[in-house]
A and B are shown apart, each in its own frame.
Chain A
Amino acid sequence: MKVRFVATILDQYADRWLRLVIATAGLLLIATVAVVWYYFTPKYTRVRYQPTQPAPFSHELHVGQLGMSCRYCHTHVDEAPHANVPSTQTCMICHLRVKAQSPLLAEIRNSWESGMPVRWNQVHRLPDYAYFNHAVHINRGVGCQSCHGQINEMKVVYHAEPLSMSWCLECHRNPTPYLRPIGEVYNLDWKPEFADSALEIGQRMEQELKINPPETCQGCHR
């Protein structure tokens, strides 16, 4: 009886089943790792994220064509951690007269009349435990474009860079190639005049401003 009992479990195909299960589990594991490796990183989850905004504000028009400065709207970016989203009032400074009746601006006018805020969708967002300070970067030669991409060419803003921790650290460990003259920080089209001078400019900047970005956890996590 005992012998038969064992044979019932480990029948002639048992070995084959075992191999099959192990192989499948192995494949699944590899697939999972591969999927997580690629899809669960900000490179996939964030880049190209482009939510629809309540009002079709075009950076391409305002910055690219009209040449408005970033700071006309994001007024406190050089003195505060946040690059503030402009108040409705800021829009209405011009749009009380310019395109005052445009249907595209209905949401803005509603907000102005009702006093309720325009509900923009956030594009760039760091985790709650990461604290980014716009002002310290702006004042040390890190251009808007470095993190936000070619905003001046975006009709609708999308997430251009991963903004992951390793991406941040890339620059914090070696800021030289990413620095630009302070005067060019808001210039989204800035290119070094000669192809190989970006590094030189960076080195000069680093020496002048004694740039020393933190690599310790304390720099960004509180």
Chain B
Amino acid sequence: MNRQQQSEWVSRQPYGFWPELRKLAVDLPGADAPTRDDTSAIPINRRSAMGILAASAALAGLPGCRRPDIELRPYTKMPEFVVPGMSLFYATTLTCGGGALPVLVETHEGRPTKVEGHPQYSPTQGASDAIAQATILQLYDPDRLRQVRRGGITSSWNEFDTFVETHFAELLQKGGQGLRILSDATASPALKHLRRHMRQSAPEAQWHVYEPLRYGYAEQAARRLFGKTLRARSDFGKPDVIVSLDADFLGRADQDAIANSRAFASRRTPAATNGPEMNRLYVVEPAPTLSGGMADHRLRLAAHAIPGFALALAAELRLFGPDWGWDADAVRGFDRLVRDKASSDTTGPAWAREIAADLLSHRGRSLVVAGPRQPPLVHALVQLMNVALGNVSHGVRYVEVPDEDTGSIEELAEDAAADRVNTLIIVGGNPAYDAPADLTFAARLAKIPNTIRLGLYEDETAQLCQWRLPAAHTFESWGDAETDDGYYLPVQPMIAPLYNGRSTLTVLAQLLSYETNGEYDIVRRAFEEQSPSLQNAGTFDRWLHDGLARREPLWFVPQLSGQAASGLRDLLQAYEPVTPAAAGREICFQADSSVFDGRFANLGWLQEMPDPITKLTWDNAALISADTASALKLATGDVVRLSLGERSVEAPVLIQPGHADHSITLPLGYGRSVAGRVGKSVGFNAYVLRTSRHLAFAAGVLVEPLGSRHQFAFTQQHDRLEHRDLAREQTIAQFVQRAAQAEDATRHDTHSEESRLIDPPRLDGRHQWGMVIDLSRCVGCSACVVACQSENNIPVVGKNEVARGRAMHWIRVDRYYRGPESDPEIIHEPLACVHCENAPCETVCPVNAAVHSPEGLNLQVYNRCVGTRYCSNNCPYKVRRFNWFDYNQRPLDQLWLGPLANFGMAETLKMQKNPDVTVRMRGVMEKCTYCVQRIERGKAGAKLASPSSSDYTLHDGQVVPACAQACPAQAIVFGDLSDVTSRVSQQKRDARRFDLLAELGTKPRTSYLTRIRNPNPRLAAALRPFTKDDGHE
């Protein structure tokens, strides 16, 4: 009754001003709630019964949401060698800019996933670089050209084949009149084979080669001096004294940078007993480069002043004096000529004098190198210096290379302007973007009646061509390559073309009516041609398996002859000194450390890889010195207009410590107008200012501030050590002195064990992993950064996120400046998680996601992580990386849209992922794992090979993390600390060892070796009075 009354009452009176409450009461199933239609006293009524039914139905549905059904699709026919779940390596070769690098490509069930250097290739021995690593991303790039297009309309290979049949039959009948081929520089014997075929079947046709960063000045100089086309093969491991005149032999622009880094670094550690002594490097250059960073003495000099310095050095060496065996008549008057044109005004006489003295005291054990962009005069002088100093056959050897019967892009542009070109085939390269600006190549290209473009992307050049053909990637095609030092290397496919592409060989063979059964057949023929000259040439299959074969190259020993003297006389007389201070500021073009000449612009890994010196990502900038900046009243980020003649470009300025005054460095390769989604409109296009007369540098540029600002994304905000001892450095003299003292103070700065609050982790594993990074060896190239990214499925986050400090790289390379801003020393320090034994991150994780393994790894358990980021806040090294967004699933320009953004990853990009590493999602912390997947794989393999689980042997060097494997300088050593004979244990006992932030008591597993510099005491003494600020910190 009471109930009825209530009901009555309730129905009369609404629930105060909460109508929802009433609704709630009505909807509650089975609740003792008064409802209007509640006529019965039984708790279960129609409504509640429905509710219970619905609930059971919902529960009954649970089995349906066990998991989505997932298909397994086994092979129809099992391919040979493939073991599902195990990786399979193929030997192939990467070619870029005329150079070649043999590599091994790791594949998983037919998917290439990772590039490694070829361990049997003696110049690099398993090392690689950032670009080689990023090639795998290029293969899977979803922005690659996917179909044949004709004038912007989708076409097909069939239509193209029909076109070729009619059009080319006619062309070849006329002997190839009007037929031109333009390719980038390739050292492919198979392609040369096709070129020879072209000479016969189409004698009127012409093959042009254009490589934007190949100047050919060194070859020109050699032709003048010795009458032969020579290429220098320098071995940086041999000389004791190296002088570089604007040559960044460690930087990416050098084809042999990996080999050079390896050889050079091998001599950067203080001498072991009976070992060779440490080398000494002098670098003279405008903008700081990797080589400049490694220099013991670096002279910053505008590019235009370097010939003057080379002459001053020649004068100090008395290069034309009686000591060197010149014919006195041949070099008469040279001394005066050299002295007249030499300039030492900007440098003070000490530099040339002391460098010359050092070279003279190391005859036969020294090396002088000149940068490829320096004029032939510098190369000629350098070649003569090396000959005179007896360095030939020791630090440097000269290879005679056959002259190519190819034309230049200038000739092609001229012919196109004169309507002499009917059909142009452009293979590789991107001339519409990177050809010298005065050729107006794009405009002339548009005039040619038939244009065919074979390329990976629909780029600036493809947009102007009628036929745009998708090229097969290196990993999808057959080919070959040879290096200057005699290696003959195969290019073999490991995946069928993803995007319907055809290889260069296939397309050219088709166009030139070359009788063949396909590209494989062409390569086989090329191999048959080459094999008689190869040492121990086995079968074709053997060559494919090994990935290399070698022949002795055609060495040439140049002499100081009358011919050399007369060749040099012409160069000397033609040389007119230009000083940027007088002629107006100069601009220097250089290859970008990330995108090279622009061809890698669409690769996110490279765009996001910080420049080794500036630490700039997703951009290029006009680099200027602090003095030049203050003279122009500019700050970093100010946008200026740079004008040279009638050409101009707008560029943001970046003040680069250590840059030469009156000089502006412009990295090439950016400002692509037609690239993929990644590379489009990133940075500015410096090619606009580059003319065929001034390919390397030009003086007289006008700088006009525009008043606007540009936002840069740097990965390092702080360039100074601020009195902290993070990246240690000593001169060799200091080191020897300290090593003589019994105890090194740095060893004792760990906390006392008693003051510990938290129990230390149990470190009772069979292995105790550790790492040592040698700062003396590290050149800062950042190969480790991209190798890690490739191995560990690290996402790209985009410029916006990098600017917020959210770059995801597990290993970063910190770059510090020491000394005055005008001319500092540079030190690189790679830093990944150091795997502290007393890890601050572990103690603050509320969910135990940061834990320690018995083998000493500081583990991050992704599935436990809830994203509090306490660990990162407590990490003194700042090496933890947080997934602020679902970088793997959302487009980078839509991150902030959250669930409204498009979801999912391109299918091809999924194929790139390393199946042995978890792909992390949003809200998860991650960091370096010491490549735990490689450790576990190594252990599993060793255990399987052994009859018991505890007695297995895991050799030192069997487990190598991706960074250490890629490192060209062998700066990173990883291994088992419980094995006292392992390399890492030995290095831990090195007198140079120090632990980063050891005073915090973190007991890091990664240690560092102090960087040692080897300055010339006499030059240092001579320079001291001139140094404004010693830069003592």
Contacts and interface: CB of A to CB of B under 8 A. Distances in A.
Interface of A: 8-9, 11, 13, 17, 20, 24, 35, 39, 44-46, 49, 51, 75-76, 79-82, 84-90, 111-112, 115-122, 125, 127-129, 131, 133, 135-136, 139-140, 208-212, 216-219, 221-222
B85 A85 contact: no
Contacts of A82: 84-85
A39 B59 contact: yes
Contacts of B935: 218
Please tell me the size bucket of the interface on B.
Answer: 35 or more
A222 B933 contact: yes
Given A80-B83, A122-B71, A222 B916 contact: yes
B916 A131 contact: yes
A85 B85 CA distance: 11
Which of B33, B72, B861, B933 has the most C-beta atoms of chain A within 10 angstroms of its own C-beta?
Answer: B72
B62 A24 contact: no
Interface in B946-969: 947-951
Nearest to A216: B853
A87 B74 contact: yes
Which 4 pairs show the lowest CB-CB distances between chains A and B? A82-B85, A210-B950, A117-B73, A81-B85
Given A212-B950, A222-B916, A125 B76 contact: no
A209 B59 contact: no
Contact of A217 (B6, B72, B84, B859): B859
Contacts of B32: 20
18 contacts: A8-B16, A20-B32, A24-B31, A46-B66, A49-B67, A79-B944, A81-B85, A85-B74, A87-B74, A119-B72, A120-B71, A128-B919, A136-B943, A140-B949, A209-B948, A216-B853, A217-B861, A218-B859
Interface in B9-30: 16-17, 21, 25, 28
B901 interface: no
Contact of B66 (A49, A84, A120, A218): A49
B863 A218 contact: no
A186 B28 CA distance: 56
Which of A13, A17, A221 has the most C-beta atoms of chain B within 10 angstroms of its own C-beta?
Answer: A221
Interface string B919-936: 100000000010011011
Given A11-B16, A122-B70, A221-B863, 18 more contacts: A20-B31, A44-B63, A45-B67, A80-B83, A84-B83, A87-B75, A89-B77, A118-B73, A119-B71, A120-B72, A122-B69, A209-B949, A212-B949, A216-B765, A216-B851, A218-B855, A218-B932, A221-B861
B1 interface: no
Nearest to A213: B949
Interface SS of chain B: helix, strand, loop or mixed?
Answer: loop
B918 interface: yes
A9 B17 CA distance: 8
Contacts of A85: 72, 74
A133 B940 contact: yes
Contacts of B69: 51, 121-122
A84 B936 contact: no
A129 B863 contact: yes
B862 interface: yes
A42 to B, nearest CB: 9
B855 A79 contact: no
A221 B862 contact: yes
Which of B33, B917, B918 has the most C-beta atoms of chain A within 10 angstroms of its own C-beta?
Answer: B918
Nearest to B65: A45
B700 interface: no
Nearest to A86: B74
B948 A208 contact: yes
Nearest to B945: A139
A8 B17 contact: yes
Contacts of B75: 87-89, 117
B857 interface: yes
B78 A90 contact: yes
Nearest to B86: A80
Given A90-B78, A127-B863, A210-B951, A45 B66 contact: yes
B854 interface: yes
Nearest to B34: A13
B74 A84 contact: yes
A123 to B, nearest CB: 9
Nearest to A51: B69
Given A24-B28, A76-B83, A121-B69, A216 B859 contact: yes
Contact of A118 (B74, B857, B919): B74
A143 B689 CA distance: 71
B940 A135 contact: yes
Contacts of A39: 59, 62
B73 A9 contact: no
Contacts of B70: 121-122, 125
A215 to B, nearest CB: 9
Contacts of A118: 73-74
Contacts of B21: 17
Contacts of B951: 210
A120 B74 contact: yes
Contacts of A80: 83-86
Which of A35, A80, A222 has the most C-beta atoms of chain B within 10 angstroms of its own C-beta?
Answer: A222
B916 A76 contact: no
B853 to A, nearest CB: 4
Nearest to A125: B70
A75 B80 CA distance: 13
Given A45-B67, A80-B83, A218-B936, A87 B76 contact: yes
Contacts of A222: 916-918, 929, 932-933, 936
Interface string B52-72: 000000010011001101111
A20 B918 contact: no
A211 B6 contact: no
Nearest to B929: A222
B915 to A, nearest CB: 9
Interface in B888-945: 916-919, 929, 932-933, 935-936, 940, 943-944
A88 B944 contact: no
A120 B73 CA distance: 6
Contacts of A49: 66-67
Contacts of B855: 216, 218
Contacts of A127: 863
Nearest to B864: A217
A119 B73 contact: yes
Contacts of B917: 222
A89 B76 CA distance: 6
Interface string B80-97: 000111100000000000
Contacts of A112: 76
A134 to B, nearest CB: 8
A217 B849 CA distance: 10
B854 A117 contact: no
Which of B16, B74, B935 has the most C-beta atoms of chain A within 10 angstroms of its own C-beta?
Answer: B74
Nearest to B75: A87
A125 B67 contact: yes
Contacts of A35: 59
B949 A210 contact: yes
B59 A20 contact: no
Contacts of B863: 127, 129, 221
A218 B59 contact: no
A128 B918 contact: yes
A84 B851 contact: no
A113 B919 CA distance: 36
Contacts of B16: 8-9, 11
A135 B936 CA distance: 13
A73 B932 CA distance: 31
B840 to A, nearest CB: 19
Interface string B745-782: 00000000000000000000100000000000000000
A99 to B, nearest CB: 19
A127 B70 CA distance: 12
Given A8-B16, A88-B76, A221 B918 contact: yes
Contacts of B944: 79, 135-136, 139
Contacts of B85: 76, 80-82, 84
